[in-house]
Amino acid sequence: MIGSLISPAFRERLMLAVTAVNGCRYCSYYHTGEALKSGLSREEISRLLAGESASCPLEEAPAVIYAQHWAESNTRPDPTALQNLREIYGQEKIDAIHLVLRMIRIGNLSGNSWDYLLYRLSFGHWGQ
């Protein structure tokens, strides 16, 4: 489903936007590599990880901005933001976007939880 609706580069933009909010170092590392493979420049990746979406293609920028808002609002976006996105992309693409966002959130939460566990087990020496 995702492959036909969301290109690999678009998927990586969404994932990097969410990871920038959640701050998972493992996801940042992995998805930087995947983004490079999908054709994103190092400059665009750096901007996305800094929370900037200005370098995104115009047709993808609304979704990337929404992804940041979705992550910042703890998966509870403003209903108006969701409606605006629906008007731009349609429900089928929105469903695919939300699937990507949920996937990266699970990765971010797992990576950050692992770091916290390492931090606690090592009495603050690892995993911060």
pLDDT in tens, 97-125: 999 999 999 999 999 999 999 999 999 88
Mean pLDDT of the chain: 95
Residue 127 forms part of a structural domain: no
Q: What percent of the chain has pLDDT over 90?
A: 92
Residue 38 forms part of a structural domain: yes
CA distance 47 to 70: 18
Q: Is the pLDDT of residue 24 over 70?
A: yes
Cα end-to-end span (Å), the chain: 36
Taking the CA atoms of 12, 13, 19 and 24 in sequence, report the sign of the dihedral they define.
Answer: positive
Residue 50 forms part of a structural domain: yes
Supply the range of the domain harboring residue 101: 2-121
Residue 111 forms part of a structural domain: yes
Residue 59 forms part of a structural domain: yes
In this prediction, residues 42-48 reach a mean pLDDT of 97
Domain count, the chain: 1
CB 93 within 8 A of CB 6: yes
Residue 37 belongs to domain with CATH number: 1.20.1290.10
Q: Residue 61's pLDDT is what?
A: 97
The contacts found for 73-77 with CB under 8 angstroms, 24 or more apart, are 75/101, 75/102, 75/105
Q: Is the pLDDT of residue 1 over 50?
A: no
CB 8 within 8 A of CB 55: no
Q: Is the pLDDT of residue 68 over 60?
A: yes
Q: Residue 2's pLDDT is what?
A: 60
